[in-house]
Structure 1
Amino acid sequence: MLAGELPFFEGAVRVVNLMHCLNGIGDDDPDFRIFVLIQSETDHLPLEAQRPLWSASALEALEPEFLRTEEWAKCFAEQACKNLIARFTP
């Protein structure tokens, strides 16, 4: 996500899944909570793997929302990513 190779709303799903695999991480963890929020607010948008199932016109209509969502998420998720990397990098 930090390198721009994965949208924050796509990465949020992965981070939330990772959170559920880790012991001792509560729902109130501030860094993970950011990604839960992003996932919750964007769960109506198709993920990359789902897009082939959508019509081209529907995806085209959603493009402005994809862009707005990414800008919105980047404002606060970038720091949460950095925090998680710092916390879990040996």
Structure 2
Amino acid sequence: MHGENAIHFTLGVMSTDSPAYNEAQIKARGELVSLCRAMLANELSFFEGAIRANSLRSTVGTPDHDPDLMAFVAIASETDHLPPLHSQHLWSASALQRLQPEFEKTEIWAKTFAPQACKNLIERFARK
């Protein structure tokens, strides 16, 4: 995940976004903007944020391979073996402790591309 074969994205603001056409899309875009702001403010990890952002992908109203959202697909894909916060209570403390270095490496790796994706998504979908 973090070595020579790491995934690199060219992230740019897309100008082809259509206006939200229903309440679900408006809500999903608002939630996505809130998630991105929380990740940029270090209030939410990129690991947790990616899981939540991916749950909104089908509702936001973007193409399937939107480059900004694909950043979160990459994070979730590379970390799908790690337990998200909502299920960590099912894991032993020693197992979570053993995984801690991997959580930390994930955040360092994600910080190389996810902040720009967050900024792009905020620019695209924040209600003005």
**1:48 CA displacement:** 0.7
The residue that corresponds to 1:5 in the other structure is 43
The residue that corresponds to 2:115 in the other structure is 78
**1:11 CA displacement:** 0.2
The residue that corresponds to 2:82 in the other structure is 45
May I ask how many residue pairs the two structures share in their alignment? 89
Q: Tell me the distance in 2 between the aligned counterparts of 1:87 and 1:37.
A: 20
Structure possessing the higher radius of gyration over alpha carbons: 2
Superposed counterparts of 1:55-70, under 5 Å: 55-70=92-107
The answer for unaligned runs of 5 or more in structure 1 is none
Q: Kindly report structure 1 stretches of 4+ aligned residues shifted beyond 3 Å.
A: none
Name the amino acid aligned to 1:45: L
The residue that corresponds to 2:26 in the other structure is none
TM-score (ref. length: structure 1): 0.94
Secondary structure of 1:6's match? coil
**1:74 CA displacement:** 1.1
TM-score (ref. length: structure 2): 0.67
Secondary structure of 1:44's match? coil
The answer for unaligned runs of 5 or more in structure 2 is 1-38
Matched-pair identity in %: 60
Give the one of 48, 53, 56 matched to 1:18.
56
Kindly report the root-mean-square deviation, in angstroms, between the aligned alpha carbons of the 2 structures. Answer: 0.8
More helix, by proportion: 1
